Structure 1
Amino acid sequence: MSIRLVAVDEHVLLRLGLASVVATTPDIVLVGEAANLAQAERVVEETNPSVVTIELTLPDGDGITAAGRLRTVRPGLGIVLLTASSDDSLLYRALDAGLSAYVTKSAPAASVLAAVRHAATAPTSFMAPGLQTALARRHTHGGLLSPRERQVLLLMRDGTSLPAIATQLEVSEATVKTYVSRLYSKLRVNNRAQALMVAVNQGLLPTSDAAA
């Protein structure tokens, strides 16, 4: 089955370029385009795509924020941030928002197509060029956990269930499970109790706030 793609970008040339690239691939079909977020919501509803590529800056809002809302409504939708900007902070935002991939417009066409295919098959698993290196820099300069992962950890400490965490953070339960999986991996634990114990021991949670 072909990957159904919607491109969201205010620049017509970018959308035309993406359409040209996709036209050469038998497994991806461009089923819709949008120049802003309002159009994107309508086009996604009408075309039911597998994947959406979205620009960071759009005339009526922030692409990553909008992508987070899309993820909540459509947990199985692949979302690729396709933008001209390239920096660690943007990669971290895309990762924390639960997007599927981040790739720059200057990347080779093969990299863009790889991101789309990844998003279609593993929408809640994040990929980006240089991801591991960027995460290493983040751990060195910004602490072990991302702000969103720490937020999830604090809610776990309070005994909040995963569905309730998803509701509070306005993300899908699948996205919360991804955060929890990352927490367990980073802390090298297998369950909530172990995660809280290690977090306290490593100073990621105040000792007075720890829950049993």
Structure 2
Amino acid sequence: MSEQVKVVVVDGHTLVRFGLTGLVGREPDLEIVGDTGLGAEAAAMVAETEPDVVVLDAFLPDLDGLQLARELRDQYAELGIVLLASDGRDDVLFKALASGVSAFVTNTAPTEEILAAIRHAAVAATSFTATGLASAMARRDQPAAQPLLSPREAEVLSLLGQGLSVRAIATSLCVSLSTAKTYVARLYEKLGASNRAQAIMTALRLGLLESS
């Protein structure tokens, strides 16, 4: 690798691409050797300029950026690949990890984080890094949370929140009064409440009921 890290930017958003080339170009250890807004031009540009790092938009206008990343990784084992995305959801992060890129960054990340990702990719192309990776892994390993309330209990809570009496709730749900009382009692038990007011306050605090 040369003294300066050679970088190619592939991003379909003109302003983002210009911003990246300007940002990278100001760094004494980094050098922009090419940029394009089309994924179809990326492979030829990489072959011609032989960069150390490609900064690649995950959602290109003409190609799937993740697929392009996989193809570049298959062809260039030592190429640093930084994947940029507007969406930092866990599923996008894990797709980035699976594609073999060196780093994943959202395009709203601080400039220091983007530059750090490029420098990481230049020296550790096959080592994945992403802000929030550890917490995303922890969330993935957790069993899916079960909803606190059943659909019927959520319905009863909504009717309570509207001020309906237990008898009116029974009529609304087309069930007997005793069944409605059972629903309400079960709801109170789950919410740790002894009356309607407590149940509604707890439900609001837990986000189970929207305040009117």
TM-score, L = length of structure 1: 0.65
Structure 2 residue aligned with 1:74, among 67, 73, 76?
Answer: 76
Q: 1:127 deviation in Å?
A: 0.4
Q: Which among 103, 114, 132 is matched to residue 105 of structure 2?
A: 103
Work out which of the residue numbers 87, 90, 99 in structure 2 matches 1:88: 90
Shift of residue 141 of structure 1? 4.1
SS of the equivalent of 1:5 reads strand
> 1:63 aligned to 2:87?
no
Equivalent residue runs for 1:114-193 within 5 Å: 114-141=116-143
Query: What does residue range 1-12 of structure 1 map to in structure 2 within 5 Å?
Result: 1-12=3-14
Secondary structure of 2:142's match?
A: helix
Measure how far apart 1:23 and its partner are. Answer: 2.2
Supply the distance in 2 between the matched residues of 1:51 and 1:97 (Cα, whole angstroms): 16
| Separation of aligned partners in 2, 1:60 and 1:123 | 25
For the pair shown, the structure with the greater C-alpha radius of gyration is 2
1:97 CA drift (Å)? 1.1
Structure 1 segments (4+ residues) deviating >4 Å? none
Pair 1:113-2:115 in alignment: yes
Q: Cα deviations across residues 128-177 of structure 1 (Å, max 9, x unaligned)?
A: 001111111112248xxxxxxxxxxxxxxxxxxxxxxxxxxxxxxxxxxx
5+ residue gaps in structure 2? 145-212
- Offset of 1:63 from its aligned partner? 0.4
SS in 2 for 1:13: helix
**1:107 partner letter:** A
- The separation in 2 between residues aligned to 1:48 and 1:134, in whole angstroms, is 33
The whole-number CA distance in structure 1 between the counterparts of 2:13 and 2:61 is: 11
**Could you tell me how far apart the structure 2 residues matched to 1:74 and 1:23 are?**
24
For the residue of structure 2 that corresponds to 1:57, the secondary structure is coil
TM-score of the superposed pair, with normalisation by structure 2: 0.65
Secondary structure at 2:28 match in 1:
coil
